[in-house]
Amino acid sequence: MYPAVFLDRDGVLIENREDYVREWSQVLIYPKTYLSLLRIQTAGYKIVVVTNQSAVGRGVISIQTAEEINDKLIKTIQENGARVDRAYMCPHRPDEGCDCRKPKPGMILQAARELDLDPSRSWMIGDAWSDLLAGQSAGARGLIMVRTGRGLDQTREPKPESLQGYSLVDDLEKAVDTLLANQGGKS
């Protein structure tokens, strides 16, 4: 079984948009995304994107468009020297009660089964409490909140009582610094 780094998409790899990323032209990749992903893969981790995309369930964009955006992002990352092993997407609205929408761990557990991943040796990096809760529920050994995207706003809201320990950092680059500094033990 492999260790992995599970990453939220919007607000971690690319800029978050309040009105949803609706097409590829709206994707703004953070400047240090490629180098950060390369550092993760060089350290021996699988890289998995887990993203809630309720814009699909709300009828704002089609599932095909959402998948095309994810595919183009992965291709662009590869063209810039890094990789993503797979992307998982929850297309449901929050009120649909699915098992895949974060804070539920469905996407992470599915990835663990399909890619032979060990959550207990893996990390979750996100910009929302729901990301960290999903990682915790899946048994991730480390949880990191970035201040990019919705992260700063999330830290101004009460931390969910059920959330155990996590690290708070400025961006994905600092998240990778934290992850690599804590590889040997539980963060």
Strand-pair category, 4-7 with 167-169: unpaired
- Is 10 among the catalytic positions? yes
In whole angstroms, what is the distance from residue 158 CA to residue 27 CA?
A: 30
Q: Which of 10, 127, 131, 171 is catalytic?
A: 10
* pLDDT surpasses 50 at 185: no
Q: What is the pLDDT of residue 7?
A: 98
* pLDDT surpasses 90 at 187: no
Question: Distances from the Cα of 45 to the Cαs of 36, 120, 137, 183, in angstroms?
Answer: 12, 13, 20, 11
Q: What is the mean pLDDT of the chain?
A: 96
* pLDDT surpasses 80 at 186: no
The band of 154, judged by pLDDT with boundaries at 50, 70 and 90, is: very high
Backbone φ and ψ for 160, nearest 5 degrees, come out as -55, 135
Model confidence over 97-133: pLDDT tens digits? 999 999 999 999 999 999 999 999 999 999 999 999 9
* pLDDT surpasses 60 at 92: yes
- Is 131 among the catalytic positions? no
Mean per-residue pLDDT, 161-172: 96
Residue 6's nearest CA partner among 149, 124, 146, 157 is: 124
The percent of residues in the chain predicted with pLDDT above 90, rounded, is 97
Q: What is the pLDDT of residue 184?
A: 60
Q: Which of 8, 127, 131, 171 is catalytic?
A: 8
- The CATH classification of domain 14-123+137-181, taken from the options 3.40.50.1000, 3.30.70.2470, 3.30.379.10, 3.40.50.720: 3.40.50.1000
Backbone φ and ψ for 26, nearest 5 degrees, come out as -90, -5
Mean per-residue pLDDT, 151-164: 94
Model confidence over 4-25: pLDDT tens digits? 999 999 999 999 999 999 999 9
